Every structure is written in structure tokens, then in C-alpha cells.
Homo-oligomer: A and B are copies of this chain.
Amino acid sequence: MKEIVYNYRVEFGDCDPARIVWFPNFFRWIDAASRHFFVECGVPRWEETEKTLGIIGTPVVDTHAKFVKTATYGDTLQFHVSIPEWRGKSFVQRYRVMRGEDLIMECDEVRIFAARREDNPEQIRAVVAPDSIRKLCE
């Protein structure tokens, strides 16, 4: 199973008046880490896959996160990303966020491969993971 690491240094503005990371920011970085995983695996950007495969992205349909230790600005975090499970039209993407030896947070997401609905392009629908993408990520 492939594991890709995305690094992020926490900035002053990422922290709140309690001087710790404001938790919604973790999801910003998780989404960047998710994309980073696909980039590192060789998946083209969504704009291209929209043209070739109809795939416009991998929106999250379910996310479950545990916050174990706090982090603050100046910290460098390592997001360890993998896809431990492929389902029919969805997959689990997993993140373990470390600061060196310390576990900061962990998160399991269910994401889908999304295409535009033919009857209404503003709406999306889940499609089976294209083999070409899945092979790159396993």
C-alpha cells in the first residue's frame, strides 16, 4: 500500500487566540495532502481528468478525525497519506499527522470519484474508480 508524506509548517495565522492550530485548518491541509497523494502517484490534475475521464475531483462524503495533541506555529507536521480501502464507488483515504514522533491527529475519510450529472452539471454523482487511477494509487 502506497504511503505518501505531505509536509506543512504551521503559520502564525493558522493559530487562534488559544495559540493552538484552529482545527478547521487541519482539514485545509488534509485536502492538500489528499491531492498531494494523487499528484505523487502520477494522477493528472482534475481539470485534465474532467476532459479525459469525466472526473472532476474526489469530494469527501464522510470524515472522522481525532485530535490527539495540539500543534502551534513553527511546528512542522508530516501528513502520512494512504488509501487502505477501495469500495465500489468510494474509497477510504487515511491520514496520520505526526510532529516527529508525536501523533497530532488522525483522520479517515470516505471520498468518491465525482462526475457531473448529465441532467444538471451543477450536481455531482459518484462513479466507479477508473482502473487507470486506481492502479497508480495502490
Contact B23 A27 (CB under 8 A): yes
Closest chain-B Cβ to A102's Cβ sits at a distance in Å of 12
- Picked from B11, B35, B56, B122, the residue with its CB within 8 Å of the CB of A72 is B122
| Segment among A13-21, A79-87, A130-138 that sits at the interface with chain B | A13-21
- Picked from B19, B24, B66, the residue with its CB within 8 Å of the CB of A13 is B24
Contact A46 B13 (CB under 8 A): no
Contact B16 A15 (CB under 8 A): yes
- Picked from B19, B25, B28, B70, the residue with its CB within 8 Å of the CB of A47 is B19
Query: A88 contacts the other chain (Cβ, under 8 Å)?
Result: no
The size class of the interface chain A forms with chain B is 35 or more
Copies of this chain, whole number: 4
* A24 and chain B: residue at smallest CB distance: B27
Q: Which of A34-82 contact B (CB under 8 A)?
A: 35, 39, 45-47, 56-57, 59-67, 70, 72-74
Known: A18-B46, A59-B67, A63-B67. 10 other contacts (CB 8 A): A11-B35, A12-B57, A17-B19, A18-B56, A20-B59, A23-B60, A24-B24, A35-B73, A39-B74, A63-B63
17 contacts between A and B (CB under 8 A): A11-B35, A13-B16, A13-B31, A13-B32, A15-B17, A17-B46, A17-B47, A18-B57, A23-B31, A23-B60, A59-B67, A61-B66, A62-B64, A62-B65, A63-B63, A64-B64, A70-B123
